[in-house]
Structure 1
Amino acid sequence: MDYNQHTLANGLRIIHEPSLSKVAYAGFAMDAGTRDEGDHEQGMAHFVEHLVFKGTTKRKAWHILNRMENVGGDLNAYTNKEETVVYASFLMPDLDRAIELMADMVFHSIFPQVEIEKEREVVIDEIQSYEDNPSELIFDDYEDMIFRNHPLGHNILGNPDMLKTFRTEHLAAFVANHYQPSNVVLFVLGNFDFKKIVHLAEKYTKDLLFTERIETRTPPALYVPEYRVINKDTHQAHVMIGNRGYDAHNDKRTGLYLLNNILGGPGMNSKLNVSLRERRGLVYSVESNLTSYTDTGAFCIYFGTDPEDVDTCLKLTHKELKHMRDVKMTSSQLAIAKKQLIGQIGVASDNYENNALSMGKTFLHYNKYESPEVVFQRIESITAEELLEVANEMFAVDQLSTLIYR
């Protein structure tokens, strides 16, 4: 379906996609994430996400908690490296309620110090729980390695010592810098008249003035591959292999997306799953992942195995990467790989919530939204020669970094 878009006088961008579902989704996406934190603010973006639920100029935390729950809706939020999102799912008659509540949270939170003190302990527990899980923690250490001395390498959750220094004025200053309407997108997925959505957005943000957006992000420095081993007191060894990836504007990104799916995607027939698990029983979990940021990217392979099997798994992984660099796919192999990826995207696009979040994120960063059909066309246009070129750029041995927890 076609989508509708509009920009208010205060700079707030609005995007809407019609839907036949009786459940609607809406949210505010802020172009502010971990990479926008100063050295003294590590963990701030995520902490702000928690605290916008804890009080505004007109609501206490309890009122925020119950506003959507009382009508059966759901209110949620997340933070990552480049954006923070507050969103809700609800029945169609509650659109007004949802937009009003989230606009209040995003633009009028007051960050009471008493709530900061309580929520700080919650986030510290979250950090400690995360650190107890090496299969998740290694992803953070890996990005810190490939984005050395850059905010993209920072842990999203922050660290307890720095969290203990945050006060009301610090959170308020971060929001004042990054939550301006020109830095925010309102996204709505549902069977609504777009004029009604625009009217509600104007109504609940009419007190906000336009502020010119100032771009302060800097790209990471030149990538230098590393080989690093960290001693951990764990039964299993955890391994990451990867490289800097393509940014979201790079035309080669779709080719790497397809290669990533072939190599270690969710299908049980992925090359690494077949080689390491199905044929040899060396791992329980093996996967590859691709993240494209606005000016760079990250590609990685992860597996967990017995410490004595690490070298064998590394050799098998490099064997698969070498095959991708050296051997051009046949037309039938390429057709099957494309069909599998298109099918996976098609099944995933049946999830309205994921579609709404994807729409908000894409429009926030690129001022456009591509339907699954457009993505399908890009995948179909990929040639075997292009995949070979991408594989040789991304999987070159001298460009791969390796991180091992032993």
Structure 2
Amino acid sequence: MDYQIYTLPNGLRLIHKPEKSAVVYCGMVISTGSRDEDETEFGMAHFVEHMLFKGTEKRRSSHIISRLENVGGDLNAFTSKEETVVYAAVLNQYAERALELIADVVLHSTFPQKELEKEVEVVLDEIDSYNDSPSELIYDDFEDMLFKGHALGHHILGKPELLREYTTQDVSRFVARQYHTEKMVLFVSGDIPFKKLTRWADKYFQLGYKQALGEQRVAPQQYQPVDNMIIKNTHQAHVIIGNRAYDMYHADRLGLYLLNNILGGPGMSSLLNLSLREKHGLVYNVDSIYQPFSDSGEWCVYFGCDPANAARCEALVYKELSKLRENKLSDALLKKYKLQLTGQMAISSENKENMALSLGKSFLRYEKVDNLEEISKKVEAITANQLQRIANEVFLPEGLSVLRYR
């Protein structure tokens, strides 16, 4: 088997991928993120992630920090629109230590008011740092425009005026509402006997916030494309062009992933890189991104350039999109692009930490994990006609929104 699964009585699911390695990668992925905040809680999901390291029923923050670092391990976390992840990497002999610590911070944090007040300042500094990076900030502003009025649109880091008002009670209330064990997946990748893992899971993860699930997520409504400019007085012009896209359960999701890789993926031979950088020398960096959510998605192209070249770069982007809509890929090109994608996935799978994170997130979303061979078969089944149809559904000029920083 590629992986083994076990469900605790409280609904928490464990997934284990046996891996011959001296290092164990493990963690908890929780189905809650910034989209699960109400309008008085903007930034709360991310703030909770910070506060998980600030004290539990039996540990102070210094004990949490040193617990794994003292044996050469690492403990980390991140928050997205729909997920919060706490994860660790340790030598095999300290795997139980890592799992016990993850259980402690996720299920038994106390969110002390004194620590909370200090951590607010840390997050405010993080927000300031982010605001100083227009190439990152523009993605948040674009999402706010694309999902206007919906929880998917607001910034993960939140609003300073709200963060300053949060109390221990506010944080505890959010955790009690969102941190249900049935919304959690415990993932482990390493050379640990599965029976031992299930015994540890029963020992450390039985307690939790199991209860009737709260409010269900509401999908965003239809939107009208927007063309907007924000004056930032930056040296470069920063531009995003994009659209709503398929959710993570859509039948054409993998097709759009392939199409996006062709258009502006990580390779130097992507269509946008060949046009804007290699042929015309107008940009240092141009990317396209496809991000599916549980009930919607987004696709966009980003580039930064000299303000004098912005209009020309936009025209070149639209030209490449038009080619994909109007011209079906030849068999030879399609074969090349499929090989590119499967090769990239194979190389990425060698990063064991990324693969462990993918293990947990895939099982949380789909209750299964496809191996590389299964994904490659799905990629191979994608046709040129399918890609052209997807391009005509997602890349239509009249459906695209544009955000510019000047």
Same fold, judged at TM 0.5 (above): yes
Which position in structure 2 is the counterpart of 1:58? 58
Structure 2 counterparts to residues 44-55 of structure 1, below 5 A: 44-55=44-55
Write the letter of the residue equivalent to 2:170.
H
Counterpart for residue 343 of structure 1? 343
> What are the within-5 Å matches in structure 2 for residues 314-329 of structure 1?
314-329=314-329
- Paired position in structure 1 for 2:393: 393
Q: What TM-score do you get using the length of structure 1 for normalisation?
A: 0.98
Alignment partner, residue 9 of structure 1: 9
State the Cα distance separating 1:209 from its structure 2 match.
6.6
Deviation of the 1:309 alpha carbon: 0.8
Percent sequence identity over aligned pairs: 53
Displacement of 1:121 after TM fit? 0.6
Q: What residue number does 1:359 align with? A: 359
SS at match of 2:152: helix
* TM-superposed deviation, 1:215: 4.7
CA drift of 1:251 comes to 1.1
2:351 & 2:381 partners in 1: Cα distance? 26
Whether the 8 Å CA contact 1:182–1:212 is kept in 2: the answer is no
Is the contact between residue 81 and residue 156 of structure 2 (CA under 8 Å) also seen in structure 1? yes
Query: AA paired with 2:296?
Result: T
Conserved? CA contact 1:34–1:42, under 8 Å: yes
Structure 2 counterpart of 1:33: 33
Whole-angstrom CA distance in 2 between matches of 1:89 and 1:335? 37
User: Residues 206 and 148 from structure 1, CA distance in 2 versus in 1: closer, same or farther, beyond 3 angstroms?
Assistant: same
1:333 and 2:333 are equivalent in the alignment: yes
Distance 2:209 2:290 in 1: 38
1:64-118 deviation line (CA, Å, top 9, x unaligned): 0000011110000000000001000001111110111110100100000110111
Question: For 1:225, what is the secondary structure of its paired residue?
Answer: coil
In structure 2, the partner of 1:173 is 173
Q: Normalising by structure 2, what TM-score?
A: 0.98
CA deviation vs aligned residue, 1:156-193 (integer Å, no higher than 9, x gap)? 11121110010000101111111121111110001111
Please tell me the root mean square deviation across aligned C-alpha atoms, in Å.
1.0
Question: How many angstroms does 1:13 deviate by?
Answer: 0.7
Equivalents in 2 of 1:156, 1:367: separation in Å? 26
Residue in 2 aligned with 1:82? Answer: 82
SS of 2:89's partner is strand
Q: 1:240 is matched with which residue?
A: 240
Alpha-carbon separation, structure 2, partners of 1:388 and 1:191:
44
Tell me by how many angstroms 1:369 deviates. 1.4
8 Å CA contact 1:27–1:99 kept in 2: the answer is yes
Task: Tell me how far 1:374 sits from its aligned partner.
Answer: 1.6
The aligned length equals 406
3-state secondary structure, aligned to 1:289: strand
Amino acid at match of 2:70: N
Structure-2 separation of matches of 1:311 and 1:225 = 19
Q: What pairs with 1:86-105 in structure 2 (closer than 5 Å)?
A: 86-105=86-105
Find the aligned partners of 1:168 and 1:146 in 2 and give their Cα distance: 33
Matched with 1:221 is 221
Give the distance between the partners of 2:329 and 2:48, measured in 1 at CA. 47
- Alpha-carbon distance in 1 for matches of 2:369, 2:153: 27
Shift of 1:372: 2.0
Please give the per-residue CA displacement for 1:115-159, whole angstroms capped at 9, x wherever unaligned.
Answer: 011111110000000000000000000111111101111101112
Post-superposition CA distance 1:288-343 (Å, at most 9, x none): 00101111111000000111111101111100000000000000000000000110
Aligned to 1:308: 308
The one-letter code of the counterpart of 1:336 is: K
CA contact 2:56–2:108 (8 Å) conserved in 1: yes
Structure 1 position 46, deviation (Å): 0.3
CA distance in 2, matches of 1:152, 1:206: 32
Q: Is the 8 A contact 1:252 1:390 kept in 2?
A: yes
User: In 2, are the aligned partners of 1:25 and 1:89 still within 8 Å (CA)?
Assistant: yes
Tell me what 1:207 maps to.
207
Give the conservation status (yes or no) of the 8 Å contact 1:245–1:297.
Answer: yes
Whole-Å separation in 1 of the counterparts to 2:241 and 2:68: 43
Give, in angstroms, the shift of residue 208 of structure 1: 3.6
Amino acid at match of 1:63: H
Partner SS, residue 39 of structure 1: coil
Q: 1:9 touches 1:210 (CA, 8 Å); kept in 2?
A: no
Please tell me the residue identity of whatever aligns with 1:160.
P
Q: Give the aligned residue type for 1:334.
A: L
- 5+ residue gaps, structure 1, are none
Over 3 Å counting, the alpha-carbon distance change for 1:21 and 1:109 in structure 2 is same
Matches within 5 A, 1:258-337: 258-337=258-337
User: Per-residue displacement from partner, 1:222-254 (whole Å, max 9, x unpaired)?
Assistant: 122111111111110000001111111111111
Residues 272, 82 of structure 1: CA spacing in aligned structure 2 closer, same or farther, 3 A cutoff?
Answer: same
Q: Tell me, which stretches of 5 or more residues in structure 2 are unaligned?
A: none
Tell me the SS of whatever aligns to 1:152. coil
Aligned residue for 2:376, secondary structure, equals helix
Residue in 2 that maps onto 1:134: 134
Change beyond 3 A, Cα 1:208–1:273: closer
